[in-house]
Structure 1
């Protein structure tokens, strides 16, 4: 098997069916398998997927285990040379799989690669090519300095806005909506960190892959469409909490022993304040 495509589903029946349909329309010489891991959906997703696509593997969890754990369950079942994490709210172009595998086969030093990710309005999903978050570039991003000065290598570092979106680049991290990872890289660094529930696990994985000496590549010669937030449109407090907890986990895991304690204290305080503000705003929006 060349490619094992892991799709995590959580109450996104129609979107997931659309994603699988797009994969099945792929024009490729490579053999692939689709593994859907369901996080205890209540919208009849499982039955609909099994009825329309009896040839694919469906794994049903008895509760919502989150993105990392669900993907790891799929990876353990996978037999492909490459593992492709694919969001349930994406549409793959016909040549995406073929060209991505060709690129990976021709570049043995690449541990993970991602394509151009386009939002429904035609704009680029900036998360598909990023630097690793640092206290400084996170501040620039929060202050929208990358929007004001997109061509600046200093202010545009977080989302690499100064890079040409149509050219291949070596970068730090990809987005988990579409990430093709070489099996040898996974065997070396391990699977996704299950401490992350549904945010930050892609950044952490890329960090470990790159730390192990593999290259991470943004490959924009192919693309997907990302209906972003399809599985998390309801901004309940749990998701907001997990978003900011992921920031805390990543910093604690990779940066805590690198920065002075004053910086660490400031980062933790900032994360807590931002989370509090977001929860308050979210509560007012509900009413």
Structure 2
């Protein structure tokens, strides 16, 4: 069994930005395989598979984020002990992957881990979250002009009171960088392909969280450009809304007992470790 593999799903991405991500992973590992699943309409990014450890797959159609990664996950599920989901807009130094690998080897109860995530200028991205309610997502996406109320909501939803300086067991970790134990994926399943883009990370993390710890580990960090595309592109906004509707149809709108349990348990944990 291979110790580690990784995948990037690309779609008309900046080649220079994608190169940063590729270099970051290759420099961090020695024998690990990196898969690039290209959903773009052309194979213009194919030349980036310049190393024998990079396996480029031109998909010739845009199947979405989760479905794209599932193509790779189905290939490696019984071949890799760990798999890393990488956004094409992240980069990191060569110590990150070995540090997280060692952490997972020491924490067998963990099915997923996410490092601290920073903007390129070094500012923290608060990407540890409670499971969302419809109210929270509507406020965050459409009611930003209620600034004080939104800040109060985000203070709890994004776990700001934790200080982001301690290990936390969190039910929703960002999909920009998912260090996954493949044993957990074999147990809970892969990305739900009903989510074309957005909320697929929420859905997968909560399914893993039900059986394993899903941990935030602040002792190492990555950088994420984080374009917030749905705030600029109407098509991406539609995808965001569509995925949110499908998420709540799956898990419950007003009544979601698991959401209530996981969120209360997370907030209680923060009180215990503060």
For the criterion TM > 0.5, the same-fold answer is yes
Runs of 4+ in 1 over 3 A off after TM superposition: 135-149, 232-236
Greater CA drift, 97-106 or 163-172: 163-172
Offset at residue 223 of structure 1 (A): 0.9
Match of 1:243 among 240, 243, 250: 240
Matching of residues 1-287 of structure 1 within 5 Å = 1-12=2-13, 13-26=15-28, 28=29, 31-42=31-42, 44-46=44-46, 48-50=47-49, 52-78=50-76, 79-127=79-127, 129-135=128-134, 137-138=136-137, 141=140, 143-145=146-148, 148-149=151-152, 156-211=155-210, 213-229=211-227, 232=229, 235-256=232-253, 258=255
Residues 155/201 of structure 1: CA separation in 2 closer, same or farther (3 Å cut): closer
Residues 140/156 of structure 1: CA separation in 2 closer, same or farther (3 Å cut): farther
CA distance in 2 between partners of 1:139 and 1:70 (Å): 27
Aligned length: 249
Runs of 5+ consecutive residues of structure 2 not aligned to the other structure: 257-274
Offset at residue 219 of structure 1 (A): 0.6
Residues 145/107 of structure 1: CA separation in 2 closer, same or farther (3 Å cut): farther
Listed one character per residue, the Cα deviations across residues 171-211 of structure 1 (whole Å, up to 9, x for unaligned) are 11111110111111101110000011110100000111112
CA contact (8 A) 2:9 2:37 kept: yes
CA contact (8 A) 1:112 1:180 kept: yes
TM-score (norm 1): 0.79
CA contact (8 A) 1:11 1:43 kept: no
CA distance in 1 between partners of 2:231 and 2:61 (Å): 18
Offset at residue 42 of structure 1 (A): 3.5
Offset at residue 235 of structure 1 (A): 3.5
CA RMSD of superposed structures (Å):
2.4
CA distance in 2 between partners of 1:155 and 1:54 (Å): 44
Structure ID, larger Rg: 1
Greater CA drift, 84-93 or 129-138: 129-138
Residues 25/156 of structure 1: CA separation in 2 closer, same or farther (3 Å cut): same
CA contact (8 A) 1:117 1:225 kept: yes
CA distance in 2 between partners of 1:4 and 1:55 (Å): 10
CA distance in 2 between partners of 1:214 and 1:54 (Å): 34
Runs of 5+ consecutive residues of structure 1 not aligned to the other structure: 260-287
Offset at residue 228 of structure 1 (A): 1.2
